[in-house]
Amino acid sequence: MCAWWFVGLNVLARIVTPFYSTLLMTMIQQSFPANQLGQVLGMLNSLASLAGPAGLIFAGPLADAIGVAKLFIIGGVGSLLCGPAMWLMPNDQPLQAHLKLTESDLS
């Protein structure tokens, strides 16, 4: 039964990923000059690629100590707490206003 929950929630995560990924890439492209985008996106991809192995380095010994089921529960609760935390973060309207001012200064 738990395996179906895991599969279902992963499918849901894969469905919603393009929505936040598109917003993230748009904000990055608007926040940096075109000649620096390659460097910025390269660094972003490097950090994102580092997260997987770094997580496994810590998750392996932790799973041995407390068990895989408890580790999944901890990860799930942490993921669920990220949703409400997003509502507490400030919106990007000040960033948008700054970008509009910067664009008008260039014209």
User: Tens digits of per-residue pLDDT, 14-62?
Assistant: 999 898 888 888 888 888 888 999 999 999 999 989 988 998 999 999 9
Give residue 92's pLDDT band: very low, low, confident or very high (50, 70, 90). low
Contact 95, 102 (CB under 8 A): no
Clarify whether residues 71 and 105 are in a common domain. Answer: yes
What is the span of the domain harbouring residue 46? Answer: 35-65
Burial of 99 (0-12, 13-18, 19+ CB in 10 A): middle
Clarify whether residues 41 and 22 are in a common domain. Answer: no
Per-residue pLDDT at 1? 65
CA distance 102 to 22: 22
Clarify whether residues 40 and 25 are in a common domain. Answer: no
Clarify whether residues 73 and 101 are in a common domain. Answer: yes
The model's pTM is 0.59
Contact 18, 26 (CB under 8 A): no
When divided into structural domains, the chain yields a total of 3
Clarify whether residues 78 and 101 are in a common domain. Answer: yes
Clarify whether residues 73 and 58 are in a common domain. Answer: no
Clarify whether residues 77 and 102 are in a common domain. Answer: yes
Helices (H) then strands (E): counts for the chain: 4, 0
